[in-house]
């Protein structure tokens, strides 16, 4: 799951930089840099959630999570 999300974010960044190559200013690359930083924050929170879920269920298969109550 998390791998797939990472790949989608990366492809979006790649598109940003690729099409920004056609315009002469630096806006596209700046937006890509911001996007990479946001993705880093998202991964940190996602991995913390995985650790909490593992502590609750001793498993990280999302099919086994029956409740999200803390």
Partner 1 sequence: MVDSIFLAVSVLTIGSAIAALEIRSLIYGSIALMITLSGIAGFFLLLDSPFVAMFQISVYVGAIAVLILFTVMLVRRELIFNKIEDPRRRYAGIGLMIIVMLGIGTIIIGSGLKTMETNATTVDYRKIGEDFLTYYSPALIVMALILASSVIGALVLAKREDVTSEQRTD
Binding residues for partner 1 restricted to 39-58, rule: CB under 8 A:
39-45, 47-52, 54-58
Residue 8 sits in the site that holds partner 1 (CB under 8 A): no
d(CA 42, CA 69): 21
28 within 8 A of 20, measured Cβ to Cβ: yes
d(CA 26, CA 47): 32
Return residues touching partner 1 (CB under 8 A): 2-4, 6-7, 10, 13-14, 17-18, 20-27, 29-30, 32-34, 36-45, 47-52, 54-58, 60-61, 63-64, 66-67, 70
């Amino acid at each position: 799951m998390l791998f797939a999300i990472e790949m989608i974010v990366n492809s979006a960044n790649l598109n940003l930089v690729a099409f920004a190559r056609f315009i002469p200013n630096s806006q596209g690359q700046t937006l890509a840099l911001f996007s990479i930083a946001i993705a880093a924050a998202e991964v940190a929170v996602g991995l913390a959630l995985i650790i909490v879920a593992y502590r609750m269920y001793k498993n990280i298969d999302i099919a086994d999570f029956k409740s999200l109550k803390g």
